[in-house]
């Protein structure tokens, strides 16, 4: 299997230590274009797309493999194995935060630290835990995706992005959603929004930065605080950036916070 083709792997940078950037749901590696250049002198930059996203090979999609986040975590490990990557800094956005955590627990020698941008370990509320959504919310979201995917994308894109004064940001996110195969996107959404990885947090073996955005629809402040409380040795940073995509809406702040953690 050609991992480079399957996951549309791109390698850049002049450094030796690998720095992997992993995109969120419905996105692709291009979403990191404002961030990775700030690290290319010091790191070996590795960009990729999950199967079914971005420029990946959709023919490699397997519904059974990707019915949970573990299948996506295996994508990450497959890339690490194919490129012989060790001691990686893993930078994940949204659902990729947990995907990276799962990969790092399974093969800890491949990683040195984790950077989580807008993480959530469980999206559905339950007594004593606030995830941001009710079970009915998620069921309606998945139902709408199935019946009217384009309408769903056009509604959720702006809501996730926030920053209404810069509509081009929401337009880019919406366009990214719309360019993803609807069937694959719905299964990825199901694997994401129905997941519960709270017990995995205590098994973290690496230094972790938790970057929490203000006014984030997908990952409320309480979620970031919960993850920080459950992850030994984690660093929590509440950003001024609003919305769920600071790497697009506030790249300078995003770079500054990551550099402060790494350097």
Catalytic residue among 23, 206, 228, 244: 244
Q: Is 206 a catalytic residue?
A: no
Is 216 known to be catalytic? yes
CA angle at residue 158 from 156 to 160, to 5 degrees? Answer: 65
**Active-site residue identified among 53, 94, 112, 234:** 94
Q: Which residue has the tokens 């959603």?
A: 177
The residue whose two tokens read 């004064």 is 165
Residue 126: partners with Cβ closer than 8 Å, 6 or more residues away? none
Which of 49, 75, 78, 216 is the catalytic position? 216
Q: Is 176 a known active-site residue? A: no
Contact 245, 31 (CB under 8 A): yes
Enumerate the active-site residues.
Answer: 94, 216, 244
């Amino acid at each position: 299997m050609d991992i480079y083709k399957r996951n549309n792997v791109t390698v850049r940078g002049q450094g030796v230590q690998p720095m992997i950037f992993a995109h969120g749901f419905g996105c692709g590696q291009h979403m990191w274009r404002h961030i990775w250049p700030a690290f290319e002198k010091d790191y070996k930059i590795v960009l990729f797309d999950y199967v079914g996203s971005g420029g990946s090979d959709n023919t490699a999609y397997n519904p059974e493999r990707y019915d949970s986040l573990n299948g996506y975590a295996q994508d990450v490990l497959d890339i690490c194995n194919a490129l012989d990557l060790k001691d990686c800094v893993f930078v994940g956005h949204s659902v990729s935060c947990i995907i990276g955590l799962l990969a790092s627990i399974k093969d800890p020698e491949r990683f040195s630290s984790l950077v989580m941008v807008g993480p959530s370990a469980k999206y559905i509320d339950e007594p004593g835990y606030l995830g941001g959504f009710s079970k009915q919310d998620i069921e309606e979201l998945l139902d709408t995706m199935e019946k009217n995917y384009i309408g769903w994308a056009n509604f959720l894109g702006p809501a996730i992005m926030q920053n209404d004064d810069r509509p081009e940001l929401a337009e880019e996110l919406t366009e990214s959603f719309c360019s993803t195969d609807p069937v694959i996107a719905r299964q990825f959404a199901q694997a994401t929004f129905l997941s519960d990885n709270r017990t995995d947090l205590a098994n973290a073996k690496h230094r972790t930065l938790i970057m929490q955005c203000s006014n984030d629809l997908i990952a409320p402040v309480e979620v970031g605080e919960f993850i920080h409380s459950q992850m030994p040795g984690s660093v929590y940073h509440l950003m001024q950036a609003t919305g769920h995509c600071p790497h697009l809406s506030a790249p300078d702040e995003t770079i500054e916070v990551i550099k402060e953690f790494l350097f």
